[in-house]
Amino acid sequence: MKLLIGIPAYNEELMIGNVIESLPKRIPDFEKVDILVVDDGSSDNTRKVAKDCKAIVLSHIINRGLGAALKTILAYAKINDYDILITFDADGQHNPKYIKRILESILDHKANIVIGSRWKDINDAPRSRIIVNQIANIITFLLFGVKTSDSQSGLRVLDKKSITNIKLFSDGMEVSSEFFKEIYRNKLIYKEVKIDAIYTKYSIAKGQQLTNAPSILLNLILRLLR
């Protein structure tokens, strides 16, 4: 089996190196583990740092947003016939030790898509984060009919059925919710695994902000009106 770890990255030169280094290069059951960084038009050295770390690097010549980077990752996984795809954040907020645990649900064929949820139990994350996430979860349920405790998580594991069937449309941050639309549309079996996110000043500044919420909501609703 072939595993791809896909990392969308925009101006992440400070962290991307550490993130790639921290990822497992070999995992039992997989004869091949590849790391793909999609550099989403970064103006810094993200591309170079990722290449130096021996990752496969695809570059967007201009910045198109998180959704766009994930589309490229999915397309790459599809074209190169990977069996499992993991999406992983470039800001260092995911602990690689969860990869094994989160892979298990997929390998047992119990799920088509597993998301690493930072919110399965209440923890000591910043309050603004908790509020943003709760609002996003409710909207995700209302719009797409899938219950989740973390609609905005960037740690996802997709099996082959998910890789083939999930079609993303959004270019921006609202793509995280769109995964749930696709889960519902394709009747994929969805599971959550609890993870602890590593919140640093850096990852907080990089992630979803309260101020992003209105535009994400507007985009999701307009999508329905089209």
Partner 1 sequence: MSLTLTQILLTLFLIFAISRVVLRFKDGEVSWLALLFWVTLFSLAIIAILLPQITSELAWILGVGRGADAVIYISIVLLFYLVFRLYVYLGDLRHDITELIKEIALKDLPKRHDKKTSKD
Task: Write out the residues near partner 1 by the rule CB under 8 A.
Answer: 34, 38, 41, 56-62, 64-65, 67-68, 71-72, 75-76, 79-80, 169, 171, 222, 225-226
- CB nearer to partner 1: give 61 or 122: 61
Minimum distance from residue 23 beta carbon to partner 1 (Å): 17
In terms of Cα–Cα distance, which of 170, 182, 110 is closest to 145?
182
Helix (H, G, I), strand (E, B) or coil at 33: strand
Phi, psi torsion values for 194, nearest 5 degrees: -75, 130
DSSP letter at 43?
Answer: S
Which amino acid, residue 215?
S
In terms of Cα–Cα distance, which of 205, 207, 208, 198 is closest to 18?
198
Minimum distance from residue 172 beta carbon to partner 1 (Å): 9
- CB nearer to partner 1: give 205 or 225: 225
- CB nearer to partner 1: give 36 or 102: 36
Minimum distance from residue 222 beta carbon to partner 1 (Å): 7
Q: Count how many Cα atoms sit within 13 Å of the Cα of residue 225 in the half-sphere of its side chain.
A: 6
Bridge partner list, 190: 113
Minimum distance from residue 80 beta carbon to partner 1 (Å): 6
- CB nearer to partner 1: give 23 or 195: 23
